[in-house]
Structures are given as structure tokens and as C-alpha cells.
């Protein structure tokens, strides 16, 4: 499967903890995007990286951070977790800087207890 | 700020009936509009992008700049069309931001 991959699929953790979500983009794609999907907020854009550099920022909390590595995979770090951080976190990728179609990964379901 | 509104949370139709999922956007520039579909327990998949003018799985969508709408239509719904549908807006041009703004989604159920 040469599509976007995300690990882990599921994550259960406790409040106050820190987790790392990982995303590998489609082969050849340089941009990676992170979205949060929750029942009350819907699908919200968090952040975009293009070829290792932050390109656009959305409603991302200060407790959250992301980076894109030289091999173009990306990690989203969530710290000091709260119950309200429970959500589905999607990664997407696209070939260029942001005007192209974004292809989504299967998501990581995070449950904070 | 960009905003995408999908007024219907739930939409039910019978197989073979026409279906229209509504989407209105609020954006002052020239946006690009998309429809994504999410089948049960699957990832979001692109259904349509307005600039491509393609018809995917029988669905079409026309961008109406006057009404700022991008409604999704299919003349004859099939049971396999049952899914969550998201309308999304991307700012076009300028500094090429990649932020997709999504509507709240519409759950379409097609009954046999």
C-alpha cells in the first residue's frame, strides 16, 4: 500500500501523559497535514509541513507540536493530555505546497482516560 | 475566515431516489471546493474536486459562486452510497496555504 500510513491505530492513555503519533506520506508527496476529528468540533486543521518546514498553522494547541523529518515522515506530539483531546487524528499528504488534492491516512484514535 | 456549512446532519433516501447534499461556503477569494466521503470505519477519500469537473460514482457537484454553494448530487442513490460526506474548502492562490476547512458532515443513509 503506497498510501498514507499512520501508527498506531489506537492509543489509550491517561490525563497528563504525552503521546506521539506517526505519519508516513504517500511516495513522492512533500506536504503532510494533521487534522483532528472530534464529535463537537468536527474535522479541524492543525498544521501543515512542506519538505521539512512548517507551512501553515491552524487551531493547534500549544501543548501539541509536530515536525517533519528528512525522510518526510511526520510526528505529532501531544503532551499534558486532557480528556478533551480524545479524538481521531488524521494525517494527509499532497505532492506540493498545498493547492493539490490531499490524501488521507486511516487515522489514529486517541482515548484519554 | 473561511467557513463551510452543511445544513443537514442526516439525510435519508430510498434506493433509486435522487439525492442532494447541500454545502455553502463563506470565503471572499476564489476558493477550491472538494467533496470527501468517509465510509464506515474507513479513511476519508476524495470524491470530487470542482476544478476537475469529473463525475465520480455518479456524483456531480456544481460550483455556484453567486449562491456560494457546492451541492453534491446523484440522480439515483445506491445502498453503497451510505456514508459520511464532507464538503471542504481550500484557499486558492496567494501564498498557497494548504488548510482545508471542512463542513460538519452529512450522514447519508440509502434504504433498500
Dump pLDDT digits (tens) for B87-101: 999 876 555 577 889
Residues of A in CB contact (< 8 Å) with B are 4, 31, 33, 35, 42-45, 48, 50, 55-56, 58, 90, 92, 94, 96-99, 101-107
pLDDT band at residue A110 using 50, 70 and 90 as cut-offs: very high
Query: Which of B11, B14, B29, B1 has the alpha carbon at shortest distance from B71?
Result: B11
Rounded to the nearest integer, the mean pLDDT of chain A is 93
Q: Name every residue whose Cβ is closer than 8 Å to that of residue A36 and which is 6 or more positions away in sequence.
A: A43, A44, A46, A87, A88, A89, A90
Cell numbers at B15, concatenated: 434506493
Cell numbers at A99, concatenated: 493547492
Rounded to the nearest integer, the mean pLDDT of chain B is 89
Residues in B closer than 8 angstroms to A58, CB to CB, are: 99
Dump pLDDT digits (tens) for A59-99: 899 999 999 999 999 999 999 999 999 999 999 999 988 87
Bridge partners, residue A84, by sequence: none
Torsion A67-A73-A79-A82 (CA) sign: positive
Cβ of A33 and B98 within 8 Å? yes
Amino acid at each position: 500500500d503506497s498510501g498514507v500510513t499512520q501508527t498506531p491505530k489506537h492509543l489509550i492513555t491517561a490525563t497528563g501523559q504525552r503521546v506521539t503519533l506517526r505519519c508516513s506520506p504517500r511516495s513522492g508527496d512533500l506536504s503532510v497535514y494533521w487534522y483532528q476529528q472530534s464529535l463537537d468540533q468536527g474535522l479541524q486543521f492543525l498544521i501543515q509541513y512542506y519538505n521539512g518546514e512548517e507551512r501553515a498553522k491552524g487551531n493547534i494547541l500549544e501543548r501539541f507540536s509536530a515536525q517533519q523529518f528528512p525522510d518526510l515522515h511526520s510526528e505529532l506530539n501531544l503532551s499534558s493530555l486532557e480528556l478533551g483531546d480524545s479524538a481521531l487524528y488524521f494525517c494527509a499528504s499532497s505532492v506540493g505546497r498545498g493547492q493539490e488534492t490531499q490524501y488521507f491516512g486511516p487515522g489514529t484514535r486517541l482515548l484519554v482516560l | 475566515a473561511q467557513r463551510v456549512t452543511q445544513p443537514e446532519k442526516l439525510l435519508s433516501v430510498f434506493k433509486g431516489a435522487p439525492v442532494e447534499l447541500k454545502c455553502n461556503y463563506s470565503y471572499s477569494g476564489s476558493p477550491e471546493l472538494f467533496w470527501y466521503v468517509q465510509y464506515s470505519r474507513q479513511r476519508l477519500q476524495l470524491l470530487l474536486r470542482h476544478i476537475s469537473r469529473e463525475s465520480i460514482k455518479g456524483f456531480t457537484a456544481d460550483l455556484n459562486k453567486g449562491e456560494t454553494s457546492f451541492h453534491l448530487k446523484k440522480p439515483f442513490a445506491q445502498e453503497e452510497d451510505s456514508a459520511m460526506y464532507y464538503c471542504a474548502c481550500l484557499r486558492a492562490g496567494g501564498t498557497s496555504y494548504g488548510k482545508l476547512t471542512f463542513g460538519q458532515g452529512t450522514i447519508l443513509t440509502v434504504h433498500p
